[in-house]
């Protein structure tokens, strides 16, 4: 270890186990008759394999060959990950429809029928899947980081873009799109929770955890693309470095491949003094969802009091609404699908201006300018198109500022990138 918490590979991994615990025999028995659970266990084993690969690299420098790694990625991991997430999306869409049907039959006041057993069972199943497979929600998009960590000699001036040209934009786009689906899942769970259904509280909690990591992933993907010369790689933390790491548990790992240093990032809704005492400060830095990532909502009626409620997912949604993604769209999704997700993201942002309200906002702004203007110089009318373009420019500037400050915060205890000073 070096001063200021800058820990080398061997020092960082010294407190982590090589192998994660096996799945209990009872769970494996149930998986024999549950195809979804069986698929989830495959995902858990794959996550543990990634953890073993990383542990060996950090502890003694051993690593698979490039061809072996590509084979693991293309022949084993990618087919499973794509299949699993497609099944998860289908489950989320079906669940939202089931919740809507239940709410239609259960008015907010009086006459609340008990939720169908199938809906409660699906609530618990989705909670378990998100808890068990949280690693893969981000892992699918950070293969460039693994390439850069395992094979730093292949880095060029373009950083991890050398391995996957355009990967940074596709990563931001994919994670932001994923954020839309998960925010809508959280809203469905919150609707059930408001009806006093306790199972939904756990689903909302699990969804918030995944969304906080998506916000962090969007920030890291954006930042690493901006500063490839830093040769920093970001990895979602496998189980050995998260669930089973005690006070050294992390959500993401930042790897400085030049100096062979590593730092864990743990994301919390808010960072309190008690949380700082409960972490391994030599290895882990804390990021706040509400403060560092600016993912928060302001409750109605308290705007002037400055109260902020952590609202994971806001940064991911904002990335979708302010980005252009021309190159990424060419190979990733249709323009029609992109615009549909973008519209949904705009509606879900707690501080955005929905499409239907834009003209009203412009009219209100024009009226206010006319009221304040002097009679000698009446205000120049502003078209709805110009007003909306200015709003988008402000949103883009805000997004860029959030990303830059959060990245500097994440790097404070890892290294000071050349030409930039981390935030004090």
DSSP state of 159: B
The secondary structure of 283-308 as a DSSP string is TEEEEETTTTS--EEPPTT-GGGT--
First vs last C-alpha separation in the chain: 22
pLDDT band of 214, cuts 50, 70, 90: very high
How would residue 408 be classed by pLDDT, with cut points 50, 70 and 90?
confident
Range with top average pLDDT, 5-14, 30-39, 58-67, 298-307: 58-67
Q: What confidence score (pLDDT) does residue 158 get?
A: 53
The yes-or-no verdict on residue 256 having pLDDT over 70 is yes
Over residues 328-353, the mean pLDDT reads: 74
Q: What is the pLDDT of residue 210?
A: 92
d(Cα 126, Cα 171) in Å, to the nearest integer? 24
pLDDT band at residue 2 using 50, 70 and 90 as cut-offs: very low
Q: How confident is the model at residue 412 (pLDDT cuts 50, 70, 90)?
A: confident
Per-residue tokens: 186: 């959280």
pLDDT of residue 145: 86
Task: Output the pLDDT for position 334.
Answer: 78
* Mean pLDDT lowest among 144-158, 162-176, 211-225, 364-378: 364-378
* Partners of 235 in beta bridges: 253
Q: Tens digits of per-residue pLDDT, 347-371?
A: 888 754 443 344 444 444 454 455 5
The two three-digit tokens of residue 233, written as one number: 């790689």
Q: How far apart are CA 278 and CA 324, in angstroms?
A: 41
What is the structure's pLDDT at 41? 86
Q: CA geometry: angle at 226 spanning 180 and 262, to 5°?
A: 90
Taking residues 172-199, report their average pLDDT. Answer: 88
Candidates 218, 212, 291, 283; CA nearest to 253 is 283
Q: Strand 7-8 to strand 232-236: parallel, antiparallel, or no bridges (unpaired)?
A: unpaired
Lowest-pLDDT choice from 58-67, 175-184, 390-399: 390-399
3-state secondary structure of 338: helix
Segments making up each domain of the chain, as ranges: 3-352+383-411
pLDDT at residue 13 greater than cutoff 90 = yes
Q: Which of 169-173, 289-293, 301-305 has the highest mean pLDDT?
A: 289-293
Average pLDDT over residues 168-196: 86
Q: What pLDDT is recorded for position 203?
A: 93
Is there a contact between 231 and 219 (Cβ–Cβ < 8 Å)? Answer: no
Give the containing element (helix H, strand E) for 310: strand 309-310
pTM: 0.83
- For 308-330, write each residue's pLDDT tens digit: 778 899 888 888 887 666 555 55
Quick one: pLDDT at residue 3? 42
Q: Please say whether the dihedral angle defined by the alpha carbons of residues 287, 291, 295 and 300, taken in this order, is positive or negative.
A: positive
Least confident of 51-65, 73-87, 228-242, 403-417: 403-417
The pLDDT confidence band at residue 156, using thresholds 50, 70 and 90, is low
State residue 252's pLDDT score: 94
Q: Could you tell me which residue, 31 or 149, shows the higher pLDDT? A: 149
Cα–chain center distance at 285:
17
Q: What is the mean pLDDT of residues 47-66?
A: 94
Residue 418's pLDDT band (cuts 50, 70, 90): very low
How far apart, in whole angstroms, are the C-alpha atoms of residue 58 and residue 10? 6
Mean pLDDT of the chain: 78
User: Residue 376 pLDDT more than 60?
Assistant: no
Report percent pLDDT > 70 for the chain: 76
């Amino acid at each position: 270890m070096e001063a200021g918490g800058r820990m080398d590979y061997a020092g960082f991994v010294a407190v982590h186990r090589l192998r994660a615990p096996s799945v209990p025999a009872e769970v494996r028995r149930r998986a024999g008759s549950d195809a979804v659970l069986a698929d989830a266990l495959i995902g858990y084993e794959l996550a543990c394999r990634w953890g073993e690969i990383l542990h060996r690299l950090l502890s003694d420098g051993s690593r698979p060959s490039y061809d072996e790694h590509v084979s693991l990625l293309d022949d084993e991991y990618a087919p499973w990950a794509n299949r699993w997430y497609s099944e998860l999306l289908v489950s989320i869409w079906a669940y939202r429809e089931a919740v809507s049907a239940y709410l239609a039959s259960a008015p907010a006041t009086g006459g609340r029928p008990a939720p169908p057993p199938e809906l409660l069972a699906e609530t618990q199943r989705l909670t378990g899947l998100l808890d068990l497979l949280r690693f893969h929600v981000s892992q699918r998009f950070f293969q460039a980081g693994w390439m850069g960590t395992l094979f730093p000699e292949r880095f060029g001036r373009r950083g991890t873009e050398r391995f996957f040209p355009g990967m940074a934009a596709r990563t931001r786009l994919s994670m932001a799109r994923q954020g839309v689906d998960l925010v809508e899942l959280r809203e469905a769970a919150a609707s059930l929770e408001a009806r006093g259904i306790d199972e939904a509280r756990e689903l909302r909690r699990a969804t918030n955890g995944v969304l906080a990591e998506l916000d962090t992933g969007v920030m890291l993907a954006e930042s690493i693309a901006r500063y490839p010369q830093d040769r920093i790689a970001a990895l979602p933390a496998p189980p050995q470095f998260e669930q089973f790491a005690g006070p050294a548990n992390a959500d993401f790992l930042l790897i400085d491949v030049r100096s062979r240093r590593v730092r864990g990032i743990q994301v919390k809704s808010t960072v309190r003094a008690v949380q700082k005492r409960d972490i391994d400060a030599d290895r882990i830095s804390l990021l706040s969802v509400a403060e560092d990532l600016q993912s928060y909502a302001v409750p109605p009626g308290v705007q002037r009091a400055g109260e902020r409620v952590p609202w994971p997912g806001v940064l991911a949604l904002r990335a979708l609404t302010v980005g252009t993604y021309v190159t990424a769209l060419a190979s990733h999704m249709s323009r029609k699908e992109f615009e549909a997700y973008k519209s949904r993201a705009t509606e879900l942002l707690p501080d955005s201006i929905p499409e239907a309200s834009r003209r009203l906002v412009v009219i209100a702004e024009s009226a206010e300018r006319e009221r304040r203007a002097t009679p000698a110089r009446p205000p120049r009318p502003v078209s709805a198109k110009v007003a909306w373009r200015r709003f988008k420019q402000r949103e883009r500037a805000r997004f860029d500022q959030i990303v830059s400050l959060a990245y500097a915060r994440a790097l404070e205890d890892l290294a000071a990138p050349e030409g930039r000073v981390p935030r004090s």
